[in-house]
Amino acid sequence: MKVVFKSYTPNQTLLLPPSLEELIEANHPVRTVNSVIDQLDLSLLEKEYQGGGASSYHPRMLLKVLVYGYLSNVYSSRRLEAGCKENIHLMWLSGMSTPDHNTINRFRGERLKNVIKEVFSKVVILLHESGHVSLKEVYVDGTKIEANANRYTFVWGNAIRTSRERIKTQLAELWDYTQKVAAEELKDTAPVSFEKIDAEKVKQTVEQIDQALRDKPVNKKVKQKINYARKNWPDALNKYDEQEKILGPRNSYSKTDTDATFMRMKEDHMNNGQLKPGYNLQISTEHQYIVNYTLHHQPTDTTTLHEHLESFENTCHTLPLELTADAGYGSEENYKLLEEKQITAYVKDQYFDRDQSDKTKNLFHPSQLHYNKEKDCYYCPMGQQMHNIGTVKKKTANGFEQTITRYQAQRCQGCPLRGQCHKAEANRIIEVNHNLNRLKNQARENLKSEKGLYHRSKRPVDVEPVFANIKHNKNFKRYLLRGKKKVTIETGLLAIAHNLKKMAA
């Protein structure tokens, strides 16, 4: 049989040049990116340009290029620059414009800084108007993404506090030594307290010590300590003050990205539980579309919901009617917040799954004791009354105030169950948060209802696959930019790209 090959004439001149439009499939995601961004009002983005000088590339074109880049797993500005010359989809989007990597990077890091959330909001509203999302039932979860920062250069809040205490202790020891050796020289000096110290106070105190010991026979090591204190301690305290300003309520930050906090992550490159600098990304989803996102410094999800709901309201111009989340969000503050905003909470508390099994119940736990609401007392497993002995106020790490009621048994001595019940020497005291119990019981009723069972089964297949798509399909496990503002831009581009790709599919 004769072999027949298809015609191959690469140097043949075409009478009419081919159109890029004809080379792109009708249902390709690049068409969705082009169509959706063309529908957006980008007047806020255009206001980021001051005018004057040379002409600028159109922000709508640069936004399309960036969004399509994040949609197709191209995050580098240099690769996007090359793509605008080589990739037919980027060439079509850019209208054959060829912005260089500096232009693309400057647009992403500076022009989008104040408007990315507004652009994302317009995409979500568009999804709502087209019927893709209702914004009534949302699923909330968080994940940690590594920052573009050195993993081994860090500042810890505990280390700063330890160093301050060491300076206080050594300064107090020097002062006590001076009072013993040169009491006469310090007789007119006011007593010195080292509970609070700063650079100026340390400098003055060291100078007083040095003056008092100048003509005295002093141990060589003491002289060395005084010289070291004069040269190093004031600067060290100034450095600690600056570091504490950067830390804020956190306990750590990276020196190469001071907005990043050290967190424990699932992606452990050394397999030793190492902490890495990163950000806690919170998202709300509906039908696997991202309808809201926020970034947080704190590694735990519990304290992020308040800010996340505020962002949701600003982004979507409404609040959801129902919110489903895992036990990481089950706190009194969050339950109360959802109740105040009239959002039905399908949120587990930390003991919800455990309490579903009778085998794991602790019969001596306060939650298992019988409560008489009329008499305001509890009954221990032996039937003894535990009377109300007052309330105390407690504040959480987030500043939320809780009211705790205390109840005490009358006669624990000689009780056959005492060894199992408690180990305190006095009669047992339990602490109960009635408001938290009320809110937890209400959430549990919601979770056990028919609709609650539906939301509990849907949550893992709605919000968690979005993180899987970002981290594994898109291979986005580490931010490229540094600082929370710029990282927020990257997150916004990821969210927009995710939504448009799903919309195209």
Written as tens digits, the pLDDT of the chain (505 aa) is 899 988 888 888 877 777 888 889 989 999 999 999 999 999 999 998 887 888 899 999 999 999 999 999 999 999 999 999 999 999 999 999 999 999 999 999 999 999 999 999 999 999 999 999 999 999 999 999 999 999 899 999 999 999 999 999 988 888 888 877 766 666 666 556 777 888 888 888 888 888 877 777 777 888 888 889 889 999 999 999 999 999 988 999 999 999 999 998 877 666 666 899 999 999 999 999 999 999 999 999 999 999 999 999 999 999 999 999 999 999 999 999 999 999 999 999 988 888 777 666 777 888 888 999 889 999 988 888 899 999 999 988 778 899 999 999 988 888 888 888 888 888 899 999 999 999 999 999 999 999 999 999 999 999 999 999 999 999 999 999 999 999 999 999 999 999 999 999 8
The amino acid present at 189, given as its one-letter code, is T
pTM assigned to the model: 0.89
pLDDT at 351: 85
Residues 6+ apart with CB under 8 A from 280: 142, 143, 144, 261, 263, 295, 296, 297, 298, 299, 300, 301, 304
pLDDT at 174: 86
Of 402, 464, 406, nearest to 439 (Cα)? 402
Of 299, 298, 304, nearest to 284 (Cα)? 304
Task: Report the run of H or E that residue 286 belongs to, with start and end.
Answer: strand 275-286
The structure tokens 């330890």 sit at: 162
Structure tokens of 84? Answer: 């605008």
pLDDT at 127: 95
The Cα diameter of the chain in Å comes to 118
* Cβ contact 264:243 at 8 Å: no
pLDDT at 222: 81
> In the 3-class helix/strand/coil scheme, how is 102-170 assigned residue by residue?
HHHHHHHHHHCCCCHHHHHHHHHHHHHHCCCCCCCEEEEEEEEEECCCCCCCEEEHHHHHHHHHHHHHH
Query: How many whole angstroms separate alpha carbon 155 and alpha carbon 159?
Result: 8
* Cβ contact 141:467 at 8 Å: yes
Three-state secondary structure call for residue 39 = helix
Query: How many whole angstroms separate alpha carbon 58 and alpha carbon 407?
Result: 69
pLDDT at 183: 67
Exposed, middle or buried by CB within 10 Å (0-12, 13-18, 19+), for 217? Answer: exposed
Neighbours of 360 (CB within 10 A): 10
Structure tokens of 232? Answer: 């190093």
The amino acid present at 419, given as its one-letter code, is G
